[in-house]
Amino acid sequence: MKIGVFDSGLGGLVIAKALIEALPQYDYVYYGDTMHLPYGEKTSGRILAYTLDAIRFLIEQDCGLIIIACNTATAVALRYLQKRFCPKFAPNVKILGVIIPTVEVALEDAHHAIGVVATPATTRSDIYAVELKKIKPDLNVLTLATPTLVPAIEKGDFELAEKEIKQYSEKLKHLQTLILGCTHYPIVKDLFQKYLPYTHVVAQDDLMGDKLTNYLKRHNEIETKLSRKGTRQFIVSQMSDGYNQVAQKLFPNIQLKLF
């Protein structure tokens, strides 16, 4: 079985890169639903439908362990997939998200307040505040919707992204810890750190490699079923020159395939 990585676009490539660097021996299939991005402004029903289509596609590619790199899809669809879809339709498939691992790392350095920047859909779900407060009930959580960042990053317009981050940072500079609660945002994590020099910026590409390594060590029944040929496939639902440019920044000589 292969390891599948799913994202609403190309932001999840940063997670795929982190996983491949930490665990290069396994076979990976990346699927970015570029046709329907951004997910953050869509309804929960639409996000769930797109995510189900993506999971079914990755299962057809023989993925037995699937990482939902998209925070929005994790917030909306992960519980349904784990509790209802997999037990009925794919009992041998394991699906993981990125939010719980991120919360665990953020709380290691948290004091009394944590900020979260995320898409509107993730912000509406309030999932970060809920999960953070499960562990630390008295924590003050500031969640800020940042709807313009994903389109700017996907288009490769980093000048616009920096302008937006500078404006958002004015509301966040009093915080000691900031979670980048969207898989696209690690691509511009240096810009967040530039405008928030005294804030601990928690980026998911810095933690998911270690988290998956530890998960596989604890779950030998899954690890032993994973194939080890070191293959990588990168698939998108819609192609453009801009997508290729963004992908090349993360994986030089990458070959995106259209599904």
Return the CATH number at 237: 3.40.50.1860
- Considering the entire predicted model, what is its pTM? 0.93
Sequence-distant (6+) residues with CB within 8 A of 69 are 5, 6, 7, 11, 12, 15, 16, 98, 183, 204
Both 129 and 39 in one domain: the answer is: no
pLDDT at 155: 84
The answer to whether 98 and 15 have CB atoms below 8 angstroms apart is yes
Cα–Cα distance for residue pair 55/69, rounded to 1 Å: 12
Both 41 and 118 in one domain: the answer is: no
The answer to whether 23 and 85 have CB atoms below 8 angstroms apart is no
The boundaries of the domain holding residue 167 are 99-204
Q: End-to-end CA distance of the chain, in Å?
A: 20
User: What positions carry a catalytic annotation?
Assistant: 70, 182
Both 13 and 64 in one domain: the answer is: yes
Sequence-distant (6+) residues with CB within 8 A of 214 are none
pLDDT at 241: 80
Both 15 and 91 in one domain: the answer is: yes
Both 105 and 199 in one domain: the answer is: yes
Residue type, 166: K
Count: domains in the chain:
2
Both 115 and 180 in one domain: the answer is: yes
Please state the rounded mean pLDDT for residues 110-136: 93
The answer to whether 4 and 65 have CB atoms below 8 angstroms apart is yes
Both 91 and 106 in one domain: the answer is: no
Point out the domain boundary residue: 162, 180, 204. 204
> By percentage, how much of the chain surpasses pLDDT 70?
100
pLDDT mean across residues, the chain? 94
